[in-house]
């Protein structure tokens, strides 16, 4: 059976978390809220709207919908100013060899991200041509750990969830993959991603034989 390999974007393919951080930090400091890299960890895989709620909670700030909408636009405008400058060099080490191996072996490659900016990021980094389908923040109504994003990916490829393999850097994403009945592979810290079936610190630690076994299992 052909397998469908589903990749999260931020933290798996590219490290855009640092740009999300800079943009959220600018907004937070403007609102008098202290926002640290530790706080930023908790926003990984979390939607833009939900991220703002978490930051406002940090500062005990109550705001109207109008104010929130303005802040969401401001944050995204700043984020996009960084994204406009990125190129292939932002792709995390080891990712391209895995994508090439999957392409050579005729496997499905799908993006499953919470980001509404996924397409421009894949274009800027010159890897959009690898993807047979893209499911992103514009397509889903239920955020991870809800499995919707990954189930939509399987459906687009006409494949059964048991033939799908998910690469994720957030615990919510790993939980989403598990709920979807897919194989979950954590990229990052083993202690954080303890619910994943397999965990690797990054793609350079994944042997191509491991991927080959997933293709042929």
Binding site for ligand G16 (CB under 6 A): 8-11, 20, 43-48, 51, 76, 113-117, 137
Spatial neighbors of 6 by CB under 8 A, at least 6 apart, are: 110, 111, 112, 150, 153, 154, 164, 165, 166, 167, 177, 182
Tell me how far, at minimum, the Cβ of 62 lies from Mg ion, in Å: 29
Stretch in the footprint of Mg ion (CB under 5 A) among 10-18, 81-89, 135-143, 200-208: 10-18
Q: Which of ligand G16, Mg ion, none does residue 147 bind (CB under 5 to 8 Å by kind)?
A: none
Nearer CB in complex with Mg ion: 136/169:
169
Residue 133 near residue 157, CB atoms below 8 Å: yes
Residue 87 near residue 124, CB atoms below 8 Å: yes
145 touches Mg ion by CB under 5 A? no
Residue 165 near residue 5, CB atoms below 8 Å: yes
- Is residue 10 annotated as a catalytic residue, yes or no? yes
Q: Which of ligand G16, Mg ion, none does residue 20 bind (CB under 5 to 8 Å by kind)?
A: ligand G16
- H helical segments located in the chain: 17-30, 37-41, 48-58, 65-83, 95-104, 118-124, 148-156, 171-179, 208-216
Instruction: Candidates 4, 7, 8, 79: give the one binding Mg ion (CB under 5 A).
Output: 8
11 touches Mg ion by CB under 5 A? yes
- Is residue 202 annotated as a catalytic residue, yes or no? no
**Which one-letter DSSP state was computed for residue 27?**
H
Site string for Mg ion, 79-118 (x = CB under 5 A): ----------------------------------------
Q: Which residues bind Mg ion (CB under 5 A)?
A: 8, 10-11, 45, 169-170
């Amino acid at each position: 059976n052909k397998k469908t390999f589903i990749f999260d974007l931020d933290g798996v393919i590219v490290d855009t978390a640092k740009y999300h951080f800079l943009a959220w930090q600018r907004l937070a400091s403007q609102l008098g809220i202290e926002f640290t890299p530790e706080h930023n960890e908790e926003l990984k895989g979390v939607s833009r709207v939900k991220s703002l709620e978490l930051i406002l909670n940090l500062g005990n700030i109550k705001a109207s919908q109008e104010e929130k909408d303005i802040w969401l636009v401001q944050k995204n405008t700043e984020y996009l100013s960084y994204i406009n400058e990125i190129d292939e060099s932002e792709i995390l080490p080891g990712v391209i060899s895995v994508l090439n191996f999957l392409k050579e072996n005729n496997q499905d490659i799908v993006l499953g991200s919470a980001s509404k900016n996924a397409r421009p990021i894949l274009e800027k980094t010159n890897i959009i041509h690898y993807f047979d389908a893209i499911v992103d923040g514009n397509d889903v109504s239920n955020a991870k750990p809800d499995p919707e994003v990954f189930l939509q990916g399987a459906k687009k490829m006409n494949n059964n969830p048991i033939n799908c393999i998910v690469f994720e850097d957030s615990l919510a994403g790993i939980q989403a993959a598990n709920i979807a009945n897919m194989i979950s592979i954590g990229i990052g810290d083993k202690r954080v991603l303890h619910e994943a079936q397999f965990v690797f610190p990054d793609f350079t630690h994944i042997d191509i034989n491991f991927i080959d076994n997933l293709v042929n299992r």
